[in-house]
Amino acid sequence: MEVDTGTRGQNPLQWNQTTLLDFILLGFSDAPSLQGFLFGVFLIIYVIILMGNSLIIIITKIDPSLQTPMYFFLRNFSSLEICYVSVTVPRLLTDLCRQNRNISFLACATQMYFFLVLGATECFLLTAMAYDRYVAICNPLLYPLIMNSRLCIRLAAGCWVSGIPVHVGFTYQIFSLPFCGSNQLNHFFCDIPPVLKLTCGDTSLIELLIYVVAVLVVTIPFMLILGSYVKIIGSILNLPSATGRAKAFSTCSSHLIVVALFFGSGIMTYLRPNSSHSIGVDKFLSLFYTIVTPVFNPMIYCLRNKDVMVALRKFLLKRVVL
pLDDT tens-digit map of 215-264: 889 889 999 999 999 998 888 888 777 777 777 777 777 788 888 888 88
Residue at 163 is within a domain: yes
**In terms of C-beta density within 10 A (0-12 exposed, 13-18 middle, 19 or more buried), how is residue 304 classed?**
middle
Task: Quote the domain boundaries for residue 247.
Answer: 19-321
Count of domains forming the chain: 1
Tell me the residue type at 214: A
Say how far apart CA 189 and CA 308 lie, in whole Å: 34
**In terms of C-beta density within 10 A (0-12 exposed, 13-18 middle, 19 or more buried), how is residue 18 classed?**
buried
pLDDT tens-digit map of 172-226: 989 988 888 788 888 899 988 888 888 887 788 888 888 888 888 988 999 999 9
Could you tell me if residue 222 is left (phi over 0), alpha (psi between -120 and 50 degrees) or otherwise beta? alpha
pLDDT tens-digit map of 60-110: 999 888 899 999 999 999 999 999 999 999 999 999 988 788 999 899 999
Contact present, 3 and 18 (Cβ < 8 Å): yes
Residue at 113 is within a domain: yes
> Up-side HSE of residue 57: CA atoms within 13 Å toward CB?
13
| Greatest CA separation for the chain | 81
Residue at 152 is within a domain: yes
Residue at 6 is within a domain: no
Q: What is the CATH number of the domain that holds 184?
A: 1.20.1070.10
Residue at 8 is within a domain: no
